[in-house]
Structure 1
Amino acid sequence: MASEAFEEIVDTFEFLEDWEDRYRHVIEMGKAMEPLSEAFKVPATKVDGCASQVWLMADVEGEGREAIYHFKGDSDAMIVKGLIAVLRALYDGLTVVEVLETDAGAQLARLGLDEHLSSQRSNGLRAMVERIRTQAAGVAEGV
């Protein structure tokens, strides 16, 4: 399952054959995101396991399994901010159950990210996905 916004990124990546162009596109996506307010850059929203500073903040509409998951995020590294934009395209607007059913690894592999990110960036990306999944699971379970 992938959102229309994520499918657009897949299509763009297919058009951009050179990895450097894809890398620039991810960075531009990050630059286009609204920055997270400094008030939300706190330990509770900070993602551990990332080489860069990363903050993710859930913004959920509704309750329980049908709640709609949205999130905001930011980073001090441009490529990581772009990766947050990719994750927003993948997850934003899904129900929390759909978030949990989404195979992020398989979807991100469609972009070739697994082959072109450093191990530190890959670990950070996995940490962001895990944070998103944990947030969605908490809402689904009514926690």
Structure 2
Amino acid sequence: FEFQTYLYVDEAHSIGALGPNGGGVVDYYGVDPKEVDIHMGTFTKSFGAAGGYIAGSKELINHLRVNSHAQMYAVSMSPPVVQQIITSMSTIMGKNGNDDGKRRLNQLARNTQYFRRRIKHMGFIVIGNDDSPVVPVLLYLPAVTA
């Protein structure tokens, strides 16, 4: 560890939605995923399922399995939820025999750009990364939006 710390990346809103291959922030910035110590994300947004994941070294995952309180109370995913995640990942990765994943990623990127452009044109203050499908808008007088 050069800096004596872990690099933890929260991909909850970016996995399956950001980057040329839908690989999230890591994919978007062209970072080798092996350079990230801990990846965390959900299956509820881009995958339309439930649950989430933590990925890291075998040593880290084993430590979490043994020491995490959540592990004591967690239940396994149901087979239909697991299948939904596998199908969504296969689509995003282009493993279903067509380019539907790329088409969907490109459409999301176009929708994001269009939405940001239009809402800025309406006078709203939009913050965050221009390519992110999460669009934070500052509202000083929420009543004005009604």
Shorter-chain TM range is: under 0.3
More helix by share: 1
TM-score normalised by length of structure 1: 0.25
More strand by share: 2
When Rg is computed on C-alpha atoms for both structures, the one with the higher figure is: 2
